[in-house]
Amino acid sequence: MSRLALVTGGQRGIGAAISEGLLAAGRRVVASYAGNDAAAAEFTARTGIPCVKFDVSDFDACLAAVAKIEAEHGPIDILVNNAGITRDAMMRKQTREMWDAVIDTNLGSCFNMCKAVWEGMIERKFGRIVNIGSINGQAGQLGQVNYAAAKSGIHGFTKALALEGARYSITVNAVAPGYVDTEMVRAVPADVLEKIVARIPRGRLGTAQDIARGVVFLTADEADFITGSTLSINGGQHMY
Ligand code: CAA
């Protein structure tokens, strides 16, 4: 049977392109989502990819969801930790709630989901994990102390877990997207976005498919020797 992939936040934006890219590459795919039932139903109707609703920042919910998915579909071979949110505000206006929401959803989720699949991957001596970081975790960004800290944390988490997984043929890598044409980026004020795009050497926003291509590459069986790496896909905006 073909490999089973779970993509968190996998029915919208970059996550949807990753789910569809993995499906096109011959994997079986399940997508998770947090709350948008209508988008999930539309996505399943269009792609045939089942969507499962749970909160990736909730540890117990992640364990329960993974157990249910594995009971229905079999072991998860590929995990893509893509789910993420922004709560942008300059430090003066950042609140503790905004900080907690972003750290828990973007970084805590990586711990929760990896913990849920880890023992199974060790037992089967195979796993492919890709965590979606960000250029803003590599370079920082105005109004994003919370998001940059979470994404930067993902990059460290990835390297540490890669060391642990190596002996079991579990690879753990990160993809660091730059500015990609999604709802999240369209929420940036137009004048600010204009300044950002002006600094992208490639001269355009990325597409969700630009990012998905990297994830498909890193999750292939043949990508066994690539682990602990960060693949930056950002149109040349930040080289790190
Ligand atoms: N790049 C360049 N300049 C920026 C900037 C940025 N990312 N963010 C803010 N600025 C500038 C503004 O243009 C403004 O400049 P002037 O004073 O010269 O006009 C100044 O900083 C203050 O900004 P605002 O007037 O907008 O201040 P505000 O308090 O009303 O809002 C903010 C602050 C919420 C941070 C808002 O500016 C904003 O949303 N900025 C965008 C932040 C951002 O880039 N978020 C990324 C979202 S996408 C993402 O996170 C995905 C990913 O992984 C890449």
196 Cβ below 6 A of ligand 1:
yes
91-143 pLDDT, tens digit per residue, is 999 999 999 999 999 999 999 999 999 999 999 999 999 999 999 999 999 99
Tokens representing 96?
């503790």
Q: Where are the domains of the chain?
A: 4-180+208-233
- pLDDT for the residue 1: 87
- pLDDT for the residue 50: 98
* Statement: residue 30 has pLDDT above 80: yes
Q: How far apart are CA 118 and CA 165, in angstroms?
A: 9
Q: How far apart are CA 109 and CA 97, in angstroms?
A: 17
134 Cβ below 6 A of ligand 1:
yes
* Statement: residue 156 has pLDDT above 80: yes
- Which atom of ligand 1 is closest in space to residue 134's alpha carbon? 53
Ligand 1 centroid distance, CA of 142 (Å): 6
Tokens representing 230?
């960060």
Question: Are the CB atoms for 139 and 240 separated by under 8 Å?
Answer: yes
Pocket residue to mutate for ligand 1, from 87, 147, 192, 194, most atoms within 8 A of Cβ: 192
Tokens representing 112?
């929760």
Ligand 1 centroid distance, CA of 201 (Å): 19
* Tally of residues, the chain: 240
Tokens representing 82?
């893509």
- Distance of alpha carbon 39 from its chain centroid, rounded? 18
177-234 pLDDT, tens digit per residue, is 999 999 999 999 999 999 999 999 999 999 999 999 999 999 999 999 999 999 999 9
In this prediction the pTM is 0.96
* Statement: residue 239 has pLDDT above 90: no
Residue identified by tokens 């002006």 is 198
* Statement: residue 163 has pLDDT above 90: yes
- Strands 230-233 and 4-7 come out as unpaired
* Statement: residue 240 has pLDDT above 80: no
- Which atom of ligand 1 is closest in space to residue 151's alpha carbon? 53
Q: Which amino acid is at 39?
A: A
Among all residues, which ones are annotated catalytic? Answer: 147
Residues with Cβ within 8 Å of residue 156, at least 6 apart in sequence: none
Bridge partners of residue 174, in order along the sequence: 131, 230
- Distance of alpha carbon 217 from its chain centroid, rounded? 14
User: Whose CA is closest to atom 12 on ligand 1?
Assistant: 192
90 Cβ below 6 A of ligand 1:
yes
41-99 pLDDT, tens digit per residue, is 999 999 999 999 999 999 999 999 999 999 999 999 999 999 999 999 999 999 999 99
Q: How far apart are CA 190 and CA 197, in angstroms?
A: 10
The reply to whether CATH 3.40.50.720 applies to domain 4-180+208-233 is yes
3-state secondary structure of 107: helix
- Distance of alpha carbon 38 from its chain centroid, rounded? 21
User: Whose CA is closest to atom 31 on ligand 1?
Assistant: 89
Q: How far apart are CA 13 and CA 7, in angstroms?
A: 12
195 Cβ below 6 A of ligand 1:
yes
184 Cβ below 6 A of ligand 1:
yes
Question: Are the CB atoms for 83 and 32 separated by under 8 Å?
Answer: yes
3-state secondary structure of 12: coil
Question: Of 129, 106, 140, which Cα lies nearest the Cα of 175?
Answer: 129
Question: Of 144, 210, 132, which Cα lies nearest the Cα of 174?
Answer: 132
